Structure 1
Amino acid sequence: MRLLTEAIICAVRAHGEHGAIVRALTPADGVQPGFVRGGRSRRLKPVLMAGNLVQAEYRSRTDEQLAQLSVELTVSRGALLSEPLASAAIDWATSLTAVTLPEGQPYPRLYAALEGLLAAIEAAPSARAWAAALVRYELLLLSELGYGLDLSECAATGTSEDLAFVSPKSGRAVSRSGAGAYADRLMTLPPFLLAGGAAEWGDIFDGLRITGHFLGRDVLIERQAEVLASRERLLTRLRRAGA
């Protein structure tokens, strides 16, 4: 097997004395693992950082064998590690991707969305400018894994007007009239998830509450649940930024 592709570094784990096992998201071949010889060296450490965009070459004799991976840096986001909020966002987005996506299955929409999110974190003057993109990325990942929310019409009445809530059980939208006396049991649906555009902090936290609920219930279970700690660190910093 030989694969030459652009890739986003999502996870790096030490292996042996000097090597590293890297999981990277590619545009057409999904998450691909590979062994980087000398991956813990002074030269390669700044390259093998989560969020970096690289040119990757995978080589293996058989499909079952862990591929040897060589990388060349294309875009470095290492400077963001000195910014606690940006660093936490990159850590969460890449960790989520690394632990949830099955290897070798293409997710071109997720690749484009993740690169867009990372570019926004790098370029935006404030967290509010990219936090809405983070919510959309989590929502897209749920959808791509088969746990998508249905926000097209009210689960109770069938209307597409005045959708204001999401059912924590079904993941379907609910209108104000359809919610009735059960409104306090539902999650608030922020307008930007329906209409797009910018979002205020309150809307962003409403969106994160929705995606966090379904990620924790349907995707990040058993050992994968450990990655939720990085999301909690990010939420703590976002709350400070939005205070």
Structure 2
Amino acid sequence: LCDAALPEREGPPGLFHGLTALFEALESEYWGAVYVMWEIALLRELGFALVLDRCAAGGDPATLAYVSPKTGRAVSEAAGVIYKDRLLALPAFLKPVFSPPVSACAGDVPPASGGGRGGAEDVLKGLKLTGYFLEHWVFVQASNGVPAARRQFQERFEKSLF
């Protein structure tokens, strides 16, 4: 993926450190979420930053659920419900973590999402999300499209779930 996407002889230091962190995370149960976050960093490094911390439609950032395939910006559940067939799913581990209001009772506190953790189904959502933007933003002009190894990785990951 790096070989196909990055300019020759350029090594963005942030991406290198992210790749090092990914290698260290391969032994952990969260390696998939870390990989998706690394692909998001790759997109950002290439000039295709996703905006996943606020709603593109002005909705509540605590209820982000989708990403617009046109803009790469997150959309809240309420704002995106009528367009959900055309939007990409936002995995829970990529959603911003919000603290409940101080006045909230203990029983009213929603479980925290985000924080870098993700189950296999959320990782698959993340792979589909980054895969979409790799295909339509980064490799759109490439004759071979997204590298075969990346496509096969996602396909094998998806097959491993079922």
TM bucket by the smaller chain?
A: 0.7 to 0.9
Match of 1:107 in 2: 12
Distance 1:169 1:222 in 2: 17
Q: CA deviation at 1:242?
A: 2.5
Partner residue, 1:44: none
TM-superposed CA distance for 1:150, in Å, is 0.8
Aligned to 1:163: 64
Q: Which residue of 1 aligns with 2:98?
A: none
Count, aligned residues: 144
Structure 2 match to 1:11:
none
What amino acid sits opposite 1:197 in the alignment? G
Tell me, yes or no, if structure 1 residue 150 matches structure 2 residue 51: yes
| Paired position in structure 1 for 2:86 | 185
Counterpart of 1:120, as a letter, is: A
Aligned to 2:102: none
Q: 1:105: Cα distance to partner?
A: 3.8
* Other-structure match for 2:40: 139
Task: Give SS of 1:146's match.
Answer: coil
Shift of 1:173: 0.5
Q: Offset at 1:240?
A: 3.3
Other-structure match for 1:210? 129
More helix by share: 2
Moved over 4 A (4+): none
TM-score by length of 2: 0.79
Contact 1:216–1:225 (CA<8 Å) still a contact in 2? no
Q: Is the 8 A contact 2:65 2:77 kept in 1?
A: yes
Name the one with the larger strand percent.
Answer: 1
Q: RCO higher in 1 or 2 (8 Å CA, sep ≥ 6)?
A: 2
| 1:188–1:206 Cα contact (<8 Å) kept | yes
8 Å CA contact 1:152, 1:173 repeated in 2:
yes
> Superposed, which structure 2 residues align to 1:1-243 within 5 Å?
96-121=1-26, 123-124=27-28, 129-194=30-95, 195-223=114-142, 225-243=144-162
Give the drift of 1:169.
0.9
Partner letter of residue 171 of structure 1? G
Task: Report the more deviating stretch, 219-228 or 185-194.
Answer: 219-228
Is contact 2:64-2:75 (8 Å) kept?
yes
Contact 1:165–1:175 at 8 Å: present in 2 too?
yes
The percent identity for this pair of structures is 40
The 1-side partners of 2:142 and 2:71 are apart by 24
**Cα RMSD, aligned residues only:** 1.9
Amino acid at match of 1:218: W
When the two structures are superposed, what TM-score results if normalisation uses the length of structure 1?
0.54
Show structure 2 runs of 5+ residues with no match.
Answer: 96-113
Q: 1:116–1:156: structure 2 CA closer, same or farther, 3 Å change rule?
A: same
Kindly name which structure, 1 or 2, has the bigger radius of gyration based on alpha carbons.
Answer: 1
Residue 137 of structure 1 deviates from its aligned partner by 0.8
1:119 maps to amino acid: E
Q: In the alignment, residue 204 of structure 1 is paired with which amino acid?
A: V
Paired with 1:135 and 1:142, the residues of 2 have a C-alpha distance of: 11
In 1, the alpha carbon distance for the partners of 2:91 and 2:21 equals 21
- The alpha-carbon distance between structure 1 residues 226 and 170, as it changes in their structure 2 partners (threshold 3 A), is closer
